[in-house]
A and B are shown apart, each in its own frame.
Chain A
């Protein structure tokens, strides 16, 4: 089955620790996106990538980093510089910038 997978489902971060969220898709989509969702709010764009080895900052990129070494994968690292990382993180992909975005199941990040 084609789709988008995210792991882990839950992730706990300690003070000063970097953590990496995984996002994989087998839809052969060129574009991939990371969004953050805070309780009771809509989604905000962290980073996006239109093609392998290229990515751009979204609206709230500070404290986050990404890589796009393979078309299928777009991991997000939440660094220690992100002071308020507790949120629900959603990965999405689309055929291209004009395509409909489809979402993975999300990762909930909590701070210990």
Chain B
């Protein structure tokens, strides 16, 4: 079974600074997808970024980028130029690209990020 671990329950950062959130996962699959979702106080789950395991290039989305280390099974999220609106719970998630998982997302426990002015 796949597992996703986020070892940082809480993080804080000053506005305009850079912060990195950690995520590790465990799987025996070779092809899969990884995601970071953001859940602000409204509780709406919002996709931040997606990485396909067969792509070596790290995904980027404006101020958000990932450091994907397949051999180490590590998938960290870097937020540059942090903004107050980035304050949220961030979840790392995994899904198998094939097999019988049928797109099931396995989530980590989440990291609460607070951006201070």
A interface residues, Cβ below 8 angstroms from B: 31, 33, 35, 40-45, 48, 50, 56, 58, 88, 90, 92, 94, 96-103, 105-106
B101:A90 contact, CB within 8 angstroms = no
Main secondary structure, interface of B, reads: loop
Binary flags per residue of B91-113, CB closer than 8 Å to A gives 1, else 0? 10000010001111101111000
Closest B residue by C-beta to A108: B43
Q: How many Å lie between the Cα of A50 and that of B102 in the bound state?
A: 7
B54: min CB distance to chain A, Å: 12
Q: How large is the interface on B (under 10, 10 to 19, 20 to 34, 35 or more residues)?
A: 20 to 34
Q: How many Å lie between the Cα of A94 and that of B107 in the bound state?
A: 17
A41:B102 contact, CB within 8 angstroms = no
B103:A88 contact, CB within 8 angstroms = no
Q: How many Å lie between the Cα of A86 and that of B91 in the bound state?
A: 21
Q: How many Å lie between the Cα of A101 and that of B104 in the bound state?
A: 9
B103:A106 contact, CB within 8 angstroms = no
Q: Is B84 part of the contact surface with A, judged by Cβ < 8 Å?
A: no
Q: How many Å lie between the Cα of A36 and that of B110 in the bound state?
A: 14
